[in-house]
Each structure stands twice: as C-alpha cells, then as structure tokens.
Amino acid sequence: MPLERARIGDEPHPPALEDQSDVDAMTCERALAHLADALKQASGARIERHATAFGQISVAKLQEPHHLAFAIDRKWP
C-alpha cells in the first residue's frame, strides 16, 4: 500500500515522516531479529523470513488459516 494512503486511527492525513538516518547493516539485521523474536513470542509459532529483490518479507502465523506479513525494504529504516 502506498504510504500516502496510510492512516493512524481516524486521522484524515497520512502520518508525517521524519528524515531517515543512515543505519549500518548489522543494526538493521538486529532490529529485524528483534521483530522476528517479538512476532514469535506473540504468535507462538516460528517466523518465516523470505529474501526478496526489494528486501525481505517476515511472516507470522495467526489463527489458521491466517498469517500476517511484513514487507521490509532493504533501505529501511
């Protein structure tokens, strides 16, 4: 979904973005590992991580047959 379509709560406008700072690859990987750990703890199931051309997709199992996926750009954050 394009960011300009994102909304938080009942706000009529998309959230304001702050300038991004450069983050090294190790810090990004550690943040993604923390995300995977938190998702695993919340879902009670292993988290799938799939490499893609744009970055990666992390998938958490919800209640069968539902899953929640996060598409994460390699330029993140």
Helices (H) and strands (E) in the chain, counts: 1, 3
pLDDT, tens digit (0-9, with 9 covering 90-100), for 11-24: 888 777 777 667 77
Radius of gyration of the chain (CA): 14
pLDDT, tens digit (0-9, with 9 covering 90-100), for 39-53: 899 888 999 999 999
Q: What is the domain partition of the chain in residue ranges?
A: 45-77
β-sheet with 67-73: strand ranges across: 48-51, 55-61, 67-73
Look at residue 56 and tell me whether its pLDDT is greater than 80: yes
Helix (H/G/I), strand (E/B), else coil: 39: helix
pLDDT, tens digit (0-9, with 9 covering 90-100), for 58-69: 999 888 899 989
Q: Is the full-model pTM beyond 0.95?
A: no
